[in-house]
């Protein structure tokens, strides 16, 4: 096992000790430290704080929130907990969070998935007008991974892959975790530009298969049951090192520090850079003093060594990490525009 994976296992084990049997992290921080100076002095934390995650403990969102909550608790000085409310592609958690009072004690972890749900009117309310972006925690980088077993004699890199697919349409398959989430948007955008066709024609060239979990995708890749997969290089590091998975390209402007040998879409003239960000949101009506205080708490927790180690292990230090209310809102607004165009291009939005 490589050192990054050992660090990740050790970090998770330590958190499990802290969490005990449940997801509640009993209070252990100094409230006097949390209330000193700045915006946080205008808000006093008096009881348990809950963070709702619309996904399970695994994947990318689970570790992102579960690694930072114990550190937030140290800052705010009251117990903090994570509630995982899964189902309906991220909709169930967003609906459950909307039912909570906007009193500063319930917060939502959200990604571009909620934007996509909102644009397609899947939620029973207008997400953009009802939720306020407070702090972005991480921003991942996606990559196109090839099964070493399945690619033999067919292609060796991204450019030869594209040529092979054009010559053998619908022969190859590509796996992803969600056919309607950020990974799908990233994949369709990349392949549309690479093939030189509209997004709604991408599936005329390649078969797209949804899987229920990352371990299923890994098994399919190693066994050659699927040809390709979209995933973060950090998530596939062990299989890359073993030679079972070959990274063909990462969707980024410049090469990753942790994977400098993998070419990027940017250097190929393909302007496809979508990567999943994950951040904390407040329901409309939450006191501004509470929002300001949470922004401060999140930034302090994000800056602590344990969370920085987590970001390094997962490859989340390749892009801008924490962003506060103003910058996070700019990103969200730009993504609403980008994902509107994406859905229209796929014929999923009029």
What does the pLDDT average to over 334-348?
A: 91
**Is pLDDT at 35 greater than 70 in this prediction?**
no
Place of tokens 């050790």: 10
Question: What is the maximum alpha-carbon separation in the chain?
Answer: 66
The answer to whether 76 and 29 are in contact (CB under 8 A) is yes
Q: How far apart are CA 309 and CA 335, in angstroms?
A: 28
The answer to whether 115 and 332 are in contact (CB under 8 A) is yes
Q: Is the dihedral of CA 4, 6, 8, 11 positive or negative?
A: negative
Tokens of 91: 């909709």
Pairing status of strand 24-25 against strand 228-231? unpaired
Q: How far apart are CA 7 and CA 22, in angstroms?
A: 23
Integer angstrom CA distances of residue 263 from 150, 232, 269, 315: 21, 14, 11, 16
**Confidence class for position 22, pLDDT limits 50, 70, 90:** very low
**Confidence class for position 19, pLDDT limits 50, 70, 90:** very low
Least confident of 18-32, 50-64, 163-177, 291-305: 18-32
Neighbours of 210 (CB within 10 A): 14
pLDDT, residue 178, reads 65
**Is pLDDT at 141 greater than 60 in this prediction?**
yes
Place of tokens 């970001």: 311
Tokens of 156: 């060796």
**Confidence class for position 318, pLDDT limits 50, 70, 90:** confident
What are the residues whose beta carbons fall under 8 Å from the beta carbon of 258, sequence distance 6 or more?
A: 233, 234, 315, 318
Q: What is the mean pLDDT of the chain?
A: 87
Give 105's DSSP letter: S
CA 161, 202, 195: angle at the middle one, nearest 5? 45
Rg of the chain, C-alpha, whole Å = 21
Tokens of 203: 């599936």
Q: How far apart are CA 287 and CA 277, in angstroms?
A: 25
pTM for this model (two decimals)? 0.77
Residue 43's H or E segment, with its range, is none
**Confidence class for position 119, pLDDT limits 50, 70, 90:** very high
Neighbours of 284 (CB within 10 A): 12
**Best-predicted range by mean pLDDT among 12-16, 51-55, 68-72, 315-319?**
68-72
**Confidence class for position 234, pLDDT limits 50, 70, 90:** confident
The side-by-side arrangement of strands in the sheet containing 80-84 is 24-25, 80-84, 49-53, 106-110, 277-283, 131-139
Tokens of 11: 């970090």
What does the pLDDT average to over 218-245?
A: 92
**Confidence class for position 217, pLDDT limits 50, 70, 90:** confident
What does the pLDDT average to over 329-333?
A: 97
**Confidence class for position 214, pLDDT limits 50, 70, 90:** confident
Give exposure, 110-130, as e/b (b: 16+ Cβ within 10 Å): bbbbbbbbbbeebbeeebeeb
Q: What digits encode the pLDDT tens for the residues 248-266?
A: 999 998 899 889 999 999 9
The answer to whether 98 and 41 are in contact (CB under 8 A) is no
Q: What digits encode the pLDDT tens for the residues 37-85?
A: 444 458 999 999 999 999 888 778 889 999 999 999 999 999 999 999 9
């Amino acid at each position: 096992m490589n050192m990054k994976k050992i660090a990740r296992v050790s970090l998770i084990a330590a958190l499990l000790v802290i969490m005990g049997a449940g997801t509640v992290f009993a209070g252990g921080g100094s409230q006097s430290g949390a209330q000193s100076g700045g915006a946080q002095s205008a808000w006093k934390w008096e009881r348990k704080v809950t963070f709702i995650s619309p996904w399970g403990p695994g994947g990318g969102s689970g570790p992102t929130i579960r690694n930072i909550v114990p550190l937030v608790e140290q800052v705010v000085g009251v117990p903090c907990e994570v509630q995982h409310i899964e189902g309906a592609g991220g909709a169930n958690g967003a609906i459950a969070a909307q039912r909570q009072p906007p009193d500063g004690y319930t917060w939502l972890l959200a990604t571009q998935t909620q934007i996509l749900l909102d644009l397609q009117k899947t939620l029973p309310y207008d997400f953009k007008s009802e939720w306020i972006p407070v702090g972005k925690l991480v921003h991942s980088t996606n990559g196109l991974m090839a099964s070493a077993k399945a690619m033999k004699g067919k292609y060796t890199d991204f450019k030869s892959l594209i040529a092979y697919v054009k010559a053998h349409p619908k022969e190859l398959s590509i796996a992803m975790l969600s056919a309607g989430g950020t990974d799908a948007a990233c994949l369709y955008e990349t392949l549309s530009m690479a093939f030189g066709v509209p997004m709604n024609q991408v599936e005329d060239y390649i078969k797209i298969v949804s899987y229920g979990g990352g371990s299923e995708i890994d098994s399919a890749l190693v066994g050659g049951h699927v040809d390709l997969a979209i995933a973060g290089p950090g998530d596939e590091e062990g299989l890359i090192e073993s030679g079972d998975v070959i990274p063909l390209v990462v969707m980024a402007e410049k090469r990753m520090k942790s994977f400098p040998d993998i070419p990027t879409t940017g250097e190929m003239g393909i302007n496809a850079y979508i990567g999943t960000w994950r951040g904390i949101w407040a329901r409309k009506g939450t006191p501004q003093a509470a929002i300001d205080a949470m922004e401060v708490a999140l930034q302090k927790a994000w800056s602590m060594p344990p969370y920085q180690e987590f970001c390094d292990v997962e490859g989340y230090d390749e892009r801008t990490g924490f962003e506060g209310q103003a910058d996070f809102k700019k990103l969200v607004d730009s993504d609403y525009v980008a994902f509107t165009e994406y859905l229209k291009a796929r014929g999923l939005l009029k």
